[in-house]
Amino acid sequence: MKILNLLPRLVVLSCIALLGFYCPVSLADKRPIITLSVGLPFFPREQSVDPKEPIDQEIEGKSAYIIKIFANGHVEYNGLYLMDVIGKREYQMDKATLKALLKKIEKESALLIKKEQERGFPSLINIRYTRTQPNIGVRVRLGQKEVTFVGEDTGVLQMDIIKATKAEQWGTENAAVHLNRD
C-alpha cells in the first residue's frame, strides 16, 4: 500500500532526474512543453509574386507551420501553408536530445527575459514592432510558468528547435523564402 502511495512521487522524481524541472508540470497535463510556430493558423495574405523578382521581405511569414514538443520527446508538426510538407507529421526525439534542448532553451530564455527587462518600459511601439516581424513565436513552459517569446529575438530558439526535432525534413529551412504557388 505504501509503495502504491509513493509511486507517483517516484515517477516524478525519476522524470526530474531524466528531464529536469519540466516533469511535474508535464505529467500533470498533456500540453506541450515547447511550441514553435511560424505564421498564422489562418488568413494567409494573398500575394502573387513574379519568380524572377528578388525575394520580397513581405513574403516572410506567409508560410505557416507549428511544432509541438511534449515531455516524453514526442514531436508533432503541422504544416498549413507554403511548406514542403503540408499536414501533420510526427517524430520521436531521443531523451538525450530533448534534455540538451531543454537546457539550451532554459538558458536562452533567461537571456531573452533579461534583454526584455533591460529594454526598460513596455513601449507600445516596441510591442507593435516585435509583433509584426517576422511572425515567429516560441512558447516555453518554465516550471510552473509559461513564457511566450515573439519576433526577431526568437530566431535562436527557433534554430535550436528545428535542429533538435530534425524539422528540416518538413521544409522549415525554406519556409520563409517560398513563393506563392497558387
Interface residues with another protein (CB under 8 A)?
35-43, 66, 68, 120-124, 127-128, 131-132, 135-139, 148-150
**Whose Cβ is closer to another protein: residue 123's or residue 174's?**
123
CA distance 77 to 84: 12
> Residue 174 CB, nearest distance to another protein (Å)?
18
Q: Give me the helix-helix angle, 2-19 and 95-118, nearest 10°.
A: 70
Q: Among residues 135 and 165, whose Cβ is nearest to another protein? A: 135
Burial of residue 167, with CB atoms counted within 10 A of its CB: 0-12 exposed, 13-18 middle, 19 or more buried: buried
Name the residue nearer to another protein (CB basis): 61 or 73: 61
Report the C-alpha dihedral over residues 37, 174, 106, 114, rounded to 10 degrees: -80
C-beta of 27 vs 147, nearer to another protein: 147
Q: In the complex, what is the shortest distance from the CB of residue 119 to another protein, in angstroms, rounded to a whole number?
A: 12
AA identity, residue 122: P
- What's the grid cell of residue 15? 522524470
Least distance to another protein, CB of residue 164, Å: 17
Q: Least distance (Å) from another protein to the CB of residue 17?
A: 29
